[in-house]
Amino acid sequence: MSWRAWLFGKAAPAPDAPHALLADIEKQGRQYLDDADNGKWVYPACKRKPSDAGADKQTVCDHTRLEAVRYLLMVPRGEFKLLAEADSQSAILDAYLRQRPHEDTVIEFSGNTMNDLAISVIAGFNWLNHCASLAGADRRQFSGMLNHFRKVATSAQKWWEMDGAKERHAQMLLAGQEPPLFLNLVWADYGRLAGEVAAVRRA
């Protein structure tokens, strides 16, 4: 029994799905990067040979997605956690849609939280594009990925601008559904692209 349960007679509430996902991403991401730094994994995952540890398609996909999300984990003060907050969605989406695309996989933070989140998300897509090139993918499959995600973000922005968005968000969580949080959108698209990288990777 936790100390909270001992003091108050009940356990602390479990995190909702977005916050649980965020905690899992952070835990897995930091562990993977530590393991890669210590030589446990060939990095980046898309360059693994069949004889390397973690060379199966699913592991390469999972690790490539974590490599893309590492930029968000680097945002100062742990502000990446705002991705799971309903109150922050409009500001995050506005900043992302204002941000000019860049091609960098090495980034500098501006000190503006929303801009830094946007820069980090784009850097993650750039990393996936870089991995696609290393894996031997048809670059045409990846050339429009930022435009595709921009359309997704624009649709989400409209959803959050509608009256009652926060109430709908809460209702969807209670029903076990997935609201269009920026966290969910980024994680899903990173996963889709990482899967394509893993599928075409040269042996």
CB-CB contact of 82 with 117 (8 Å) = yes
pLDDT at 10: 52
CB atoms within 10 A of CB 142: 20
Percent of the chain with pLDDT over 70: 91
Q: Is the pTM of this model over 0.85?
A: yes
**Distance of alpha carbon 80 from alpha carbon 68, whole angstroms:** 14
Span 185-203, mean pLDDT?
Answer: 89
The model's pLDDT over 48-59, given as tens digits with 9 standing for 90+, comes to 999 999 999 999
pLDDT band at 203 (very low <50, low <70, confident <90, very high): low
**Distance of alpha carbon 87 from alpha carbon 105, whole angstroms:** 29
Q: Between helices 113-135 and 145-161, what is the axis angle to 10°?
A: 150
- Rounded to 5 degrees, φ, ψ at 97 are -70, -20
pLDDT at 43: 97
